[in-house]
A = this chain, B = another copy of it.
Amino acid sequence: MRTFILKANTAITSPDFSLKDLPGTGGRIDLLCRFLNSAFLLSHGIRKDVRVFITLYGKPNPPKTIHFEGPKLKVRLNPDERSTSLILKKALEVGKDLREPTKEVEVFPGVYVSNMTFEDVVRRSMKDSTLYYLVEDGRPITEIEFPQNPAFVLGDHLGLGKEDERFLEGIAEKVRVGRRSYLASHVVAFVNIWLDGM
């Protein structure tokens, strides 16, 4: 199982965003759609061995976590942003009045929403996976022998904050792809293809 964890610093935590302006009204919710696309989609079909947690920290009600569980996923994930944003909208609708701190509510088969924090998600992933933090100054992933269940933590266009980085110290090895600073969706596409083996 591969896990990808994205901290989305500005992504809206209510369903009140417009499909006509995902970047603006959604606090860059378009980025989340492409992230899911890169994590799950193959040319014909989806990856069943992938799990994604997106932790949303934008207004008005952070944090919200949306969790996609590959082996249980029944909702159709299409490649385009608009259709994926509708799944996220529904998840945020269901999560609107959720009060429990870590309880997950199923939105569609294999899609869950909760109030879990970024730290909650990382702690939970540590239990069954080996953590890696994808960041510019890490070791090249081409030099690493990955274990059975790697979990990759990524920041969005703003990156992780100092506090998040301190939290990850000692629990997640820093790794990198390429030599420049890339969009999260490109990094995930690269990692997936690399892990498939060349």
Which residue from chain B places its CB closest to the CB of A44 in the assembled complex? B181
Query: In the complex the two chains form, is A22's CB within 8 Å of B189's CB?
Result: no
Q: Check if B42 sits within 8 Å of A198, measured CB to CB.
A: no
Contact in complex: B193, A20 (CB < 8 Å): no
**Are A196's CB and B178's CB within 8 A?**
yes
When distances are taken between beta carbons in the complex, the residues of chain B under 8 Å from A182 are 42-43, 189, 193
The distance from the CB of A46 to the nearest CB of chain B, in whole angstroms, is: 11
Q: Flag whether A90 is at the interface (Cβ < 8 A).
A: no
A183 to B193, CA, bound (A): 11
Nearest residue, chain B, Cβ from A30:
B80
Interface-central residue, A177, A190, A197, by most chain B CB under 10 Å: A190
Does A142 touch B at the CB level, under 8 Å? Answer: yes
Distance between Cα atoms of A174 and B34 in the complex (Å): 28
> Min CB distance, A110 to chain B, in Å?
21
A 146-171 to B, binary, CB cutoff 8 A, 1 in contact else 0: 00000000000100000000000000
Report yes or no: A183 in contact with B79, Cβ–Cβ below 8 A.
yes
Q: Does A73 contact B (CB under 8 A)?
A: no
* Contact A43-B80, Cβ < 8 Å, known A37-B34, A190-B189: no
